[in-house]
Structure 1
């Protein structure tokens, strides 16, 4: 699936975004929200995976106001990313993501609903978006901001899927159980992946847990097929 560039119009400028169309050229929409590393090679690969399933995928550049990106060729990728994310205004970032959702929904290629998928930092943003905007499905991989967002849980009405690793230093078991208690309901699925740490879906050697990555992706594909089906 070829990648195209587009722009999300905002009151103070245009946010760059990346677009992937499915083989049919049409389908339900998925807003894909980045890790702290930005719209990286990994996020682009996942976007192509989702497009191959039949979805129109839009990944906005949430760092656009910072006039900087993470240079993946350097050794200090994590340090770069932490410095960038620390500069973001959370509410403004959520507002930008909601605008991207609206832009995606308005695209002529989108039919059959719109969902949101987020990884790590993007998982928290996705949860917040689902609390303040209408979405048809939410997938959050180890949403790092979720512990601070649980007051919004009652406002998330979309069918939701959450993934966590049992060896996650950022989201330890007691935190995950607090999240489970806050988000629980008949429309919510939460999976624990044994032995997996934070960012286990990221294929970088320092993060990836291959078994959890494969298992979680299979669960994600199944969830989307049920909750945001491609016609």
Structure 2
């Protein structure tokens, strides 16, 4: 009898995910990132396999089609007088809800309004919320269609004005004719920071904030945070996790309402289903917790 040996793909080493995190957050440039990946060839992993696993494939990031009959999507402009003047976002409303629904601001990573974040907005609308996902890159022409260029564009922008743009977006959604004036915010990476910043900057307007692996707001704002907050952390995300003890100390001093979840063994970006960092079980658990949190505080 002949035996057939099936080769199984080698797992991507953790250092490759760590390098991608450094690259995605501007700590190393693309040349350095690719050179480090090439150095893993001695382990029998080709560069194409590594880049295919680490870099986003947005064809994978459509859990809710833009043609889904349960939602209605459009682009809407809003004023941002303290920021870049005029901005634009992706507004997705549920067609299954009679009357008004709570609003949830969806805040992208550090590269503009990419297809993954638009799909997150559609998922929220599918669950009965009015979701609004601003594109921070709109003043420069909008998300350019690839993350590398988007990341460079966003890094070139004035951070204080960007923050004001998201504050303006939150106020636009709170006052939108389709919402109940109950307002939540969910953000990922840079968007997680913005969710924390909004909870500190406009605490009377944010009724529930959910930062995914986001850094804390500026120290001078932290005393304003009252919650409710639900914070999601990735077990392998040392860079962000190291900021949590100090932030949690302030939340306790504020008697803020919060809950924090740590998902062991997963990487920063584990909710993003377009890359190899995606951890389906943990992402689904974090998302179900997020929806329950919004139901409890926004309905």
- Global fold match (TM > 0.5): yes
Whole-angstrom distance in 1 between the partners of 2:107 and 2:189: 9
Whole-angstrom distance in 1 between the partners of 2:174 and 2:284: 29
1:156: Cα distance to partner? 1.6
Return the TM-score normalized by structure 1. 0.87
2:261 maps to which of 176, 187, 191: 191
Q: CA RMSD in A?
A: 1.9
1:205: Cα distance to partner? 2.8
SS of the counterpart of 1:95? Answer: helix
Whole-angstrom distance in 2 between the partners of 1:179 and 1:156: 10
2:174–2:181 Cα contact (<8 Å) kept: no
Q: Does 1:46 align with 2:120?
A: yes
Gaps of 5+ in 2: 1-70
2:92–2:125 Cα contact (<8 Å) kept: yes
Return the TM-score normalized by structure 2. 0.69
User: Which of 1 and 2 has greater Rg?
Assistant: 2
How many residues align? The count is: 221
| Higher mean displacement: 199-208 or 8-17 | 8-17
> Match for residue 180 of structure 1?
248
SS of the counterpart of 1:152? Answer: helix
1:37–1:70 Cα contact (<8 Å) kept: no
Aligned CA distance change for structure 1 residues 169 and 58 (closer, same or farther; 3 Å): same
1:177: Cα distance to partner? 2.8
Q: Name the structure, 1 or 2, with higher relative contact order (CA <8 Å, separation 6+).
A: 1
1:137 maps to which of 205, 208, 230: 208
Gaps of 5+ in 1: none
Q: Does 1:119 align with 2:193?
A: no
> Match for residue 218 of structure 1?
288
Runs of 4+ in 1 over 3 A off after TM superposition: none
Aligned CA distance change for structure 1 residues 42 and 188 (closer, same or farther; 3 Å): same
